[in-house]
Amino acid sequence: MRHYLLAETNWKNIRDVKFDLAILPWGATEAHNYHLPYSTDVIEADGIAAESAKIAWEKGVKIIVLPAIPFGVNTGQKDILLDININPSTQFAILNDIIEVLNRQKIYKLLILNSHGGNDFKSMLRELGLRFPQMLLTTCNWYQSIDKSAFFENPGDHADEMETSLILHLAPGLVLPLPEAGEGKEKKNKIKAFNEGWVWTERKWSQISADTGVGDPRRATKEKGKKYFKALTEKLSDLYIELAKCDLKDLYE
Ligand SMILES: [Zn+2]
């Protein structure tokens, strides 16, 4: 029983605890090339949140990890079988209700640990910050927290070498043999500016990738996943400690 995970702990153990920080892992349910499970982003969110929270908890920080939200924004994958979309407006409503609970119960710090590129919480947190002025509302994309190129040979952003290595580490029984994976080749937009990163439009997923993957997964290994997971969770735990300890009235220097 891990008392920093709300799904595992009980009221007896936590009812007198004063939590400083709540962490909300947020995933998606979507195809990940041919070889990874639909729950890839949820397995990552849960696994990364639990391990990083454990490191911080063992250093005395009172944090609570909420159950991961399993559905994300998949508007660009509407024609891919059983990719479950929830709209940004639905996410806003869910966030509003969760933050209302935290605010009422005086847990004034929230970190969304985002696992899915289609989820974008920044504008929601701006608006919710007006509704809940006492709250510190924060979001991070764990996959951007450390430089992947130090751990992996091939780049990518969906079911790539990094994600495949992570799932080989976290849930190896759910990964098909790598020769069954597609090559994860992405078609780029013909208009150059989109590829330079300063103009954005949603990618139509079934048109940019034949196997739903973006990034060649075939050099993935369990060992790479383990090493990356360790570096990632250590860095995140440092963030949790800083967030938990920070003084909301004295954030800037
Ligand atoms: Zn993913």
Question: Do 19 and 60 contact (CB within 8 A), yes or no?
Answer: no
Mean pLDDT of 161-188: 97
d(CA 233, CA 235): 5
Q: Which of 230, 237, 229 is nearest to 165 (CA)?
A: 229
Q: How far is the CA of 226 from the centre of ligand 1 (A)?
A: 17
Model confidence pLDDT, tens digit, residues 105-145: 999 999 999 999 999 999 999 999 999 999 999 999 999 99
Is the per-residue pLDDT at 4 higher than 90? yes
214 residue type, one letter: V
CA–centroid distance, residue 157 to ligand 1 (Å): 8
CA 192 – ligand 1 centroid, Å: 25
pTM: 0.96
pLDDT tens-digit series, residues 213-245: 999 999 999 999 999 999 999 999 999 999 999
CA 162 to ligand 1 centroid distance, Å = 10
Res 1: pLDDT: 86
